[in-house]
Amino acid sequence: MKQFTIVCIISLLSINLKAQTWCPPEATWYYGMTDGYTKFFYTSDTIINSIQCKKIASYYEWHYGPMHYFGNGANQYTYSQTGVTYLYNNQSGHNQFDTLFNINAQIGDKWKITYVMDSVCADSFKQITVLNKGNKIINGIPLKWLYIKHYRFPLVNYITDTVIENMGFSSAFYFHPIMYCSGVDEATHDGLRCYSDSTFGSYIRNPLMPCDFTISTDEMYHNINFSLYPNPSNDNLTITVSDNKKLDYYEIINITGKIIDKVIINDKTFKVETKNLREGIYLVRIIGNNSVMGTKRFSVIH
């Protein structure tokens, strides 16, 4: 009996060690379309209305034609309790916490996120309805999910989405309740690209879309012509730039959007060592005059 109790305790500890909590240290979300992204990331704990909350900062970067926009967005404040995650709403004088999602909700359950938007959209609240629910395992951790639809009132159209426990909305919704409207927020509405934190690891929704990069737009609006070969690469990648514009350095970026190498450029033709890179897809980004001059994708196969 004693041995059985010890085994049970060890099992429970193992489960708890793998349990996922809302917004732990290093929690980071990337949302965005191919022409831009918004990064949300945990920064600190704070107190609002006597409630201990997580402060989440944001940074956006997107392209519109040849124009490049970037900067810091508004901070978000959130907390979770017994499966319900709340988002602080202080727009237009509100001072309340709205239910962002309830991961323990049942099919048919509903909740509202109340807010006042600008005159372009004139929405007043968003109603969310649970259509289905279930469980899935990601990174060895069992997580609940909800399949929901949300209406934008006073409009009658709705959008479906998936909520994953402790990650949040997957495709059509993110922390900031302002969406599908004018301005920078427009670039963040194509869904979750990546999520990571200190205990969970990384969840990459689309391996071909790096978390914090805009592949198609940078390739479409590059300022220089250059080629790279062989692609796929094994030991070395040769890059030749055919333009005479000033080049400063190149960056190698992995599939999670992390810059893993940065090297000064001294010639129009140069080699990039790939023998120490893991097999997979990468980006090479060429920088000149403090701006992105061009980007191409390549793969490494050993």
Q: Each residue of 23-37: pLDDT tens digit?
A: 998 999 988 765 678
Q: What is the CATH number of domain 222-300?
A: 2.60.40.3080
**Residue from 41, 109, 128, 126 nearest 76 by CA:** 41
- Distance between CA atoms of 178 and 113, rounded to whole angstroms? 11
Sheet (strand 269-273) strand order: 226-229, 236-241, 269-273
Instruction: Please report the pLDDT score of residue 115 as a whole number.
Output: 54
Find the mean pLDDT for residues 172-178: 50
Instruction: Please report the pLDDT score of residue 49 as a whole number.
Output: 92
Burial category of 168 from C-beta neighbours within 10 Å (exposed 0-12, middle 13-18, buried 19 and up): buried
DSSP for residue 244? -
Find the mean pLDDT for residues 285-291: 84
Find the mean pLDDT for residues 134-154: 86
Beta-carbon contacts of 80 under 8 Å, excluding residues fewer than 6 positions away, are 21, 22, 23, 86, 166
Q: Both tokens of residue 276?
A: 């120490």
In three-state secondary structure terms, 6 is helix
Instruction: Please report the pLDDT score of residue 184 as a whole number.
Output: 35
Instruction: Please report the pLDDT score of residue 42 as a whole number.
Output: 94
Q: What pLDDT band is residue 55 in, cutting at 50, 70 and 90?
A: very high
Residue type, 262: K
What is the rounded end-to-end Cα distance, in angstroms, of the chain?
53
Q: What pLDDT band is residue 178 in, cutting at 50, 70 and 90?
A: very low
Name the pTM for this structure.
0.63
Domain ranges in the chain are: 6-204, 222-300
Find the mean pLDDT for residues 131-160: 84
**From residue 99, how far is each of 20, 89, 145 by CA, in Å?**
19, 10, 16
- Distance between CA atoms of 255 and 143, rounded to whole angstroms? 24
